[in-house]
Amino acid sequence: MAMAQAMTAEVVPLPRKRPTLDPMLSLTANGMNSVNAVILDRMQSEIPLIPRLAGHLISGGGKRLRPMLTLAGAELVGYQGTRHHKLAAAVEFIHTATLLHDDVVDGSELRRGKAAANIIFGNPATVLVGDFLFSRAFELMTEDGSLRVLKILSHASAVIAEGEVSQLTAQRQIETSEERYLQIIGAKTAALFAAASQISAVVAECGDEQERALEDYGRNLGVAFQLVDDAIDYDSDAAEMGKDRGDDFREGKMTLPVILAYARGSEDERRFWKDAIMGHRSSDADLEHAIELIGRHNALDDTRERARHFAQRAIDAISIFPDSKARQAMAEAAQFAVARGY
Amino acid sequence: MAMAQAMTAEVVPLPRKRPTLDPMLSLTANGMNSVNAVILDRMQSEIPLIPRLAGHLISGGGKRLRPMLTLAGAELVGYQGTRHHKLAAAVEFIHTATLLHDDVVDGSELRRGKAAANIIFGNPATVLVGDFLFSRAFELMTEDGSLRVLKILSHASAVIAEGEVSQLTAQRQIETSEERYLQIIGAKTAALFAAASQISAVVAECGDEQERALEDYGRNLGVAFQLVDDAIDYDSDAAEMGKDRGDDFREGKMTLPVILAYARGSEDERRFWKDAIMGHRSSDADLEHAIELIGRHNALDDTRERARHFAQRAIDAISIFPDSKARQAMAEAAQFAVARGY
């Protein structure tokens, strides 16, 4: 798709560097070593199955984007301490717990390109180890001792669960609107991005304006990420691995590419979508047809366009901070969120 | 069984009043009204499925024993405030979350005599509403603001999850020892009883000795309760309802009645137990045979005897407090724990 765009342009300029996560990775590399040490240390238990199951997912090559947001935020505001390492680990534990429970909820077979934990260890252990990690997250926060951080992250956790239940009730509901969809991903994904980012300002004891700015950065970035994730599930050119393409389609999940293609479709096409989302058309040929319809109505490009909008809002939110390596890295991370999978 | 005991006694004295939960219920009645109001208020959500699913279990006639322990402890130490109402509600939310997840883990069909939530609402929603209630519990604790309470309850939550995983790995393992079993129920059941009881002393700012005594009371009471629960599952005379008798048997759970009957059994009997716990003998006739073997070796009476031991330790733990209505009610609750189901 990047190729196609380049070819339609009148003048081909020197290729602009594609945005990457590299500046963010360098910015947070030292801190992430400490965070990873906390993660490894605190996922241990006398019950051997717990670190084995948790480790399957935790060492499974996730980007650890959320704890990275906490570290980047701390850099942005010039925080000098180390309290945020434990808190970033708590954020990753909450995220890991929700992934484990998601895999049970969705009956996933793949996660990050490997067999999902529920496939290897079964649903029961996967649910319980999720609970364990969730509890550990609150133990870590309590050790830190900031009631404000506890408030932010316990509230975010409740909102995430609400978002997941909301998504569940929207499943196989063709009439789900873009507004409803944005509410769902705002809760199930963006709330933790927002909280992860915000707590860096809390630890650094910045003012309200800074705290709000970091929260807004995280929330908008989270929405952009989720939109692109949802696009990738229908993108035959997508290079990003780790998920079975078409998972959302087969599960009858209402995501923006489908919402747009359905809204813009003919009567015939709408009938197809209704059947497909109800689960009556889930073959590979049906998936190909769905991808074709989504392409016909520019629904993938427009989903990415929506993501670009939120990424830009994320970048603008942190414009109140003076220019710095941290701010540049965070801005490029937002651009990367949109460009992923091309 | 109570009959049988009375008949073997030489002299039949005037029937001693059977211990009940009534003094505990009167002691905590006012406080429980406040706790129930908090529970009802804080299980609400804009996502209608959440209060519907949570309400199914929460209004389903549970005894709310754990929050009652917090209230009784507060009475015992003469606490005059109301902070413990919110915290008792948090305890009940944690308990409810673990019940919801347990039902998914065990594939339960009945809970408290009604269809289990997972049967009515499905596993996905049941897992997620559990997560929601768990998060709400931490929101309530954070609002209260005691880091010590947060520490006690986040640690207890992690220990519960460890206990559940440990029970899962002991499932269908005939060689599970009584020691291992006591560790498991100490974690999966008694940890929350202990925490619920202990936090009353924390809120009242008692000394360490009082706090420890209340923790010990709760822990021993929890062990006694679980032992009797496990006995009732094999007790054909048990009056207690709400659970399918034989659930543990069919799930291959190693509980004390089985551990004792296996240890005391003949070679033939041990072969039966091995097959049964492996899941190769799970018919109604097999269950009857299991009950017969358990009876032959006094394994039910001895399980209750073990429970009596822990109940007595609970009673002795609070003997450091001056005699009071609260202490008497708590002591009778411990006796009730042992006498249940007769």
pLDDT digits (tens, 9 = 90+) for A297-324: 999 999 999 999 999 999 999 999 999 9
Q: Check if A173 contacts B (Cβ < 8 Å).
A: no
**pLDDT tens digits for B284-315?**
999 999 999 999 999 999 999 999 999 999 99
The answer to whether B161 contacts A131, with C-beta atoms less than 8 Å apart, is: yes
Give all strands (DSSP E) within chain A, no chain letters: 110-111, 114-115
- The pLDDT value given to residue B191: 98
Q: How far is A258 from chain B (nearest CA, A)?
A: 23
DSSP B112: T
Contacts of residue A195 in chain B, CB cutoff 8 Å?
none
Task: Please tell me the distance from the alpha carbon of residue A155 to that of residue A53, in angstroms, as a whole number.
Answer: 26
Which uninterrupted H or E stretch holds B99? Answer: helix B83-106
The answer to whether A136 contacts B158, with C-beta atoms less than 8 Å apart, is: yes
What is the distance of C-alpha B115 from the center of its chain?
A: 19
The answer to whether B127 contacts A104, with C-beta atoms less than 8 Å apart, is: yes
Contacts of residue A43 in chain B, CB cutoff 8 Å?
none
Nearest to B158 among A132, A160, A169 (CB): A132
**pLDDT tens digits for B140-167?**
999 999 999 999 999 999 999 999 999 9
DSSP B319: G
The answer to whether A162 contacts B129, with C-beta atoms less than 8 Å apart, is: no
Task: Please tell me the distance from the alpha carbon of residue A225 to that of residue A219, in angstroms, as a whole number.
Answer: 10
Of B323 and A10, more confident: B323
Torsion of CA B189, B194, B199, B200, to 10 degrees: 110
Of A330 and A60, more confident: A330
The answer to whether B138 contacts A131, with C-beta atoms less than 8 Å apart, is: no
Q: Check if B342 contacts A (Cβ < 8 Å).
A: no
Out of A204-213, B182-191, B242-251, least confident range? B242-251
The answer to whether B104 contacts A124, with C-beta atoms less than 8 Å apart, is: yes
Nearest to A128 among B142, B143, B164 (CB): B164
B115 — phi, psi (to 5°)? -55, 135
Token pair in block for residue A186: 């705002």
The class (CATH top level) of A19-339 is mainly alpha
Q: Residue A8: pLDDT above 60?
A: no
CB proximity list for A127: less than 8 A, separation 6 or greater: A100, A101, A104, B101, B104, B105, B127
Contacts of residue B106 in chain A, CB cutoff 8 Å?
124
Q: Which residue of A has its CA nearest to B163?
A: A47
Q: Check if B177 contacts A (Cβ < 8 Å).
A: no
Q: Check if A100 contacts B (Cβ < 8 Å).
A: no
Nearest to A124 among B131, B141, B168 (CB): B168
- The pLDDT value given to residue B68: 98
Which CATH code for domain B19-235+243-337?
1.10.600.10
| Interface mutation target, options B106, B121, B135, chain A, most CBs of A under 10 Å | B135
**Domain positions in chain B:** 19-235+243-337
**pLDDT tens digits for A31-49?**
999 999 999 999 999 999 9
Nearest to A47 among B49, B143, B166 (CB): B166
Of B301, B229, B232, nearest to B261 (Cα)?
B301
- The pLDDT value given to residue B127: 97
Helix axes A65-76, A208-232, angle to 10 degrees: 150
Q: How far is B61 from chain A (nearest CA, A)?
A: 25
| Interface mutation target, options A162, A171, A173, A184, chain B, most CBs of B under 10 Å | A162
Q: Which residue of B has its CA nearest to A100?
A: B127
Of A116 and A226, more confident: A226
Contacts of residue B145 in chain A, CB cutoff 8 Å?
147
Nearest to B47 among A129, A131, A162 (CB): A162
Residues 132-171 of B with CB under 8 A from A: 132, 134-136, 138-139, 141-143, 145, 147, 150-151, 154-155, 157-158, 160-162, 164-166, 168-169
| Mean pLDDT, rounded, of chain A | 92
Of B3 and A127, more confident: A127
Q: Predicted confidence band at A216 (pLDDT cuts at 50, 70, 90)?
A: very high
Q: Residue A177: pLDDT above 70?
A: yes
- The pLDDT value given to residue B247: 86
Of A108 and A271, more confident: A271
Torsion of CA A310, B128, A95, A209, to 10 degrees: 50
* Mean pLDDT computed over A157-185: 96
Q: Check if A46 contacts B (Cβ < 8 Å).
A: yes
Q: How far is A171 from chain B (nearest CA, A)?
A: 12
The answer to whether B154 contacts A139, with C-beta atoms less than 8 Å apart, is: yes
Nearest to A124 among B105, B138, B145 (CB): B105
Q: Which residue of B has its CA nearest to A157?
A: B135
Q: Predicted confidence band at B6 (pLDDT cuts at 50, 70, 90)?
A: very low
Out of A109-113, A160-164, A213-217, B134-138, least confident range? A109-113
Q: Check if B47 contacts A (Cβ < 8 Å).
A: yes
Number of Cβ pairs < 8 A linking chain A and chain B: 139
* Mean pLDDT computed over A269-295: 95
Q: Residue A207: pLDDT above 60?
A: yes
Contacts of residue B101 in chain A, CB cutoff 8 Å?
127-128, 131
User: Helix, strand, coil % (nearest 5) of chain A?
Assistant: 75, 0, 25
Distances (CA, A) of A302 to A95, A306, A309, B249: 28, 6, 10, 56
**pLDDT tens digits for B242-268?**
556 788 999 999 999 999 999 999 999
Secondary structure string (H, E, C) spanning A284-296: HHHHHHHHHHHHH
The answer to whether A142 contacts B139, with C-beta atoms less than 8 Å apart, is: no
Q: Check if A50 contacts B (Cβ < 8 Å).
A: yes
N- to C-terminal Cα separation, chain B: 7
Q: Check if A127 contacts B (Cβ < 8 Å).
A: yes
- Evaluate whether B213 touches B320 at the Cβ level (below 8 Å): yes
Q: Check if B174 contacts A (Cβ < 8 Å).
A: no
Q: Residue A135: pLDDT above 90?
A: yes
